Chain A
Amino acid sequence: MSFLEQIGQTVVVGVEDAGALTIQFWSVVRKLPKILPLAGTGRHWRSVVHQMLAIGASALPMSGAMALCTGFILALQSASELRRFGALQFVVDLVAIGFTRELGPLITALSVSGRSASAISAEIGTMVVTEEVDALRVMGLDPVEFTLAPKYLAALITFPCLTILSTLCGIFAGYLFLAFSMDMSIHIYFQAVVEAILLRDVAFMLIKSLVFATIIVQVGCLEGLRVRGGPEAVGHSTTAAVVKSTFLVILADLLATAIFYLFGWSSVK
């Protein structure tokens, strides 16, 4: 296959993936009202809670640890440069804004993508291979309502929580560095953080977390449903789920950040 043909094939596959993701996303969203505990039938709520523990609670140690490390690194690196300009006080702003707008949602998404996208695609892929998805269909049950929608609802609930906690961990790590290097008190640091962060930064962080949750769960589900064959195919699907969801998360982050700056939301109040 020539180079141009390879590019063409990649584009065609990308468009097919985008179309399949869109159709699947819409199918899942239509089923969400049915699985809410009060508004819907409530039959799948136990499954949603189980997924919240799997996707959210069990990811907290990893994303928290990553945020702590990244926060400390960011504070250290920025301090070493800002010191030359006598602007060490701006380390607080850099860590707080950087984590709220960017690193909090991104680190959470990358840590969960590696865990949950692969786990979701493996679980659903195994269900396809063992004919459990077919069994749901022939029983007259909708696999989207039964399997996909609870995962998505769980992600929509837990991702913003995880993101907030990761962001706080990253910001706290910045305090740890400044406490060691400058003997800064927690009160001064906290006040500086509050002054640096705008409400729209927090809103942007939460919107990003929802977008990343959508990408990770939908890609994981799609790759799982595409499995054809045996256990080897399940392995391929988990790899594809992690790679694709990671790439799409970063691409979405780029687009969101560009929009944020294009609309001038980054200017101070």
Chain B
Amino acid sequence: MSYGTRRVLDGVDLDVYRGEVLVLLGGSGSGKTTLLKQVLGLAKPEAGSITINGVDITSCSQRELGAVRRRIGVAFQGGALFNSMSVADNVALPLRELTGLADSTIKLTVWMKLMAVGLSDAGALYPQELSGGMKKRAAVARAMALDPEILVFDEPSAGLDPIVSAGLDELILFLKRSFGMTILVVTHDLKSAFHIADRVAMLYRGRLIAADSKEKFAGNAHPRIRQFLDSRPDAPPGVAAEEFIATYLRGPKDDH
């Protein structure tokens, strides 16, 4: 997959097994978000296929893609809650639009989903009235509305304090244990990753460099994995004074 001349993903071959929590790690620009969009059918790969429950979503019809998507729940990084609707209406939306359930049943289902994420009292609130952690949990409740088989989290701990982030990790584990969901988590939060993951995969410059159990991943000797796990920067800090002054006196290069 390329944007212009920049190759964003290159030869990624990754399996996600039923019932596991797979954490996808990678630095900024590694291709995590692009891969996620392709898995969700929001972007098409230039080559290869993506098969979910036996359906190749890169070549299926819109109807088949819609059926696959209804088995997937997604909690976006910022929540992606609809600001014109209350939290309860946000959670009820897929139920109203995609099922023929009666209003009373939908109301009960919404309350159950909100209770599962600890937001049973927040149904009447609007997204702009929620804290960051509450938005994430409301997004999870909406993602679970249709009882999906697969849950996808995009950077669940982004922008959250450690306590709230830990609470969200526990929610993910609760969902896995209680409902047997297959969960894909895209993150660069190492602590969270190793707490919740069954397996860990890592992207580096668009390539998949590892996909192992978290124990094997932690012991992987690949230099980029070691650098990521040790949180080491690419280049040493500081600037050589002579080089800086020479560049400053020379002036900017003329590109034409």
Query: Which residues on A are within 8 Å of B, measured CB to CB?
Result: 43, 130-132, 134-135, 137-141
Contact = CB atoms under 8 A, between A and B. Distances in A.
Given A138-B40, A138-B41, A138-B69, A131 B97 contact: no
A134 B36 CA distance: 12
Interface of B: 37, 40-42, 66-67, 69-70, 72, 74, 76-78, 80-82, 93-94, 96-98
Given A138-B74, A139-B94, A141-B97, A131 B80 contact: yes
Given A43-B97, A131-B77, A140-B94, 18 more contacts: A43-B96, A131-B78, A132-B80, A132-B81, A134-B40, A134-B42, A134-B76, A135-B80, A135-B82, A137-B42, A139-B70, A139-B98, A140-B67, A140-B70, A140-B98, A141-B93, A141-B94, A141-B98
B69 A139 contact: yes
B80 A140 contact: no
Contacts of B93: 139, 141
Given A138-B42, A140-B66, A140-B70, A131 B94 contact: no
Interface of A is mostly: loop
Nearest to A129: B78
Contacts of A134: 37, 40, 42, 76, 80
A137 B76 contact: no
A132 B85 CA distance: 12
Nearest to B42: A134
A135 B96 contact: no
B76 A135 contact: yes
B57 to A, nearest CB: 11
A52 to B, nearest CB: 15
Interface centre among A131, A137, A139, A141 (most CB of B within 10 A): A139
B80 A130 contact: yes
Contacts of A140: 66-67, 69-70, 94, 98
B41 A137 contact: yes
Contacts of A131: 76-78, 80
A170 to B, nearest CB: 35
Contacts of A43: 96-97
19 contacts: A43-B96, A131-B78, A132-B81, A134-B37, A134-B42, A134-B76, A135-B74, A135-B76, A137-B40, A137-B41, A137-B69, A138-B41, A138-B69, A139-B70, A140-B67, A140-B69, A140-B98, A141-B93, A141-B98
B53 to A, nearest CB: 15
Contacts of B96: 43
B162 to A, nearest CB: 25
Contacts of B40: 134, 137-138
Contacts of B76: 131, 134-135
A147 to B, nearest CB: 10
Contacts of A138: 40-42, 69, 72, 74
Contacts of A139: 69-70, 93-94, 97-98
A131 B155 CA distance: 13
A4 to B, nearest CB: 19
A122 to B, nearest CB: 12
A139 to B, nearest CB: 5
A2 to B, nearest CB: 14
Contact of A130 (B41, B74, B78, B98): B78
A131 B42 CA distance: 11
Contacts of B42: 134, 137-138
Contacts of B81: 132
B82 A132 contact: yes
A139 B67 CA distance: 10
A8 B196 CA distance: 55
A138 B75 CA distance: 10
Contacts of B94: 139-141
B102 to A, nearest CB: 14
Nearest to A126: B83
A23 to B, nearest CB: 15
A168 to B, nearest CB: 33
A224 to B, nearest CB: 15
A75 B42 CA distance: 56
